[in-house]
Amino acid sequence: MKAIQRKKQPEKVRRMLLDAAARIATHRGIADVTVDAVCLEAGVTKGAFFHHYPSKAVLIRAVFDDLIERFDFDLNERMDADDVPYGRFSRAYIAAVLAEGKAGSEPLWAALYVSTLADADLRQSWAQWIGGKLSDHGESANLTLRIARAAADGLWLDTITGTAAAPDEVRAMTEQLNAMTRERLS
């Protein structure tokens, strides 16, 4: 009698591992993203895990890269819908970071943000990614746009830590930040 062999689906397994790690990080924190926990959550063997990711650190990096890819897609959609070239990237960034239910408001961002603070490699990756985007869109040297993005980051941090102002005040601040991206002050 022949043994039944399952068709290998490496991309599906890889995606299951990424999603499992993201769920664990979101609900329990990055520290709880262990090889055992990810395998259990994804329903795969340790062998399958190590076939795709040689370590937990490599998996965390893959989750980070996947999140950046999704964020980049969101930014590109927002920029495509904006017909004003000046400040387009910054407006898309502010909107994406502060949008409810989207990239910036996901609990996974908070978990990865904390990891990024502690991980020099992730910090460097973020710096390279954001620096490249700013350069590509001609916004790297503009102080006003940088202030608007930094303020959006601060407002996002206020939101995830629960110290943000009332929703109406957050909306007003977001509108003010967007106004800054339309004025050529520097």
Whole-structure pTM value: 0.81
Rounded Cα gap, residues 14 and 51, in angstroms: 9
pLDDT at 106: 62
pLDDT at 3: 46
CA–centroid distance for 7 within its chain: 32
**55-98, pLDDT tens digit by residue?**
998 998 898 888 888 889 999 999 999 999 999 999 999 998 88
pLDDT at 121: 87
Rounded Cα gap, residues 86 and 98, in angstroms: 20
DSSP summary character for residue 144: H
pLDDT at 64: 86
Rounded Cα gap, residues 45 and 170, in angstroms: 45
pLDDT at 134: 92
Domain at 9-54, CATH from 1.10.10, 1.10.287, 3.30.420, 1.20.120: 1.10.10
On whether the CB atoms of residues 121 and 129 are closer than 8 A, the answer is no
Question: Comparing C-alpha atoms, which of 82, 79, 69, 90 is closest to residue 147?
Answer: 90
pLDDT at 116: 76
pLDDT, one tens digit for every residue, the chain (186 residues): 454 445 678 888 899 999 999 888 878 877 888 999 999 999 999 999 999 999 998 998 898 888 888 889 999 999 999 999 999 999 999 998 887 655 555 666 776 677 777 788 888 988 999 999 999 999 989 999 999 999 998 888 887 777 777 888 888 999 999 999 997 764
pLDDT at 169: 86
Residues whose CB is less than 8 angstroms from the CB of residue 176 and which lie 6 or more positions away in sequence, other chains included: none
Mapping DSSP onto H, E and C, the string for 62-124 reads HHHHHHHHHHHHHHHHHHHCCCCCCCHHHHHHHHHHHCCCCHHHCHHHHHHHHHHHHCHHHHH
Tokens 């969101």, located at residue: 74
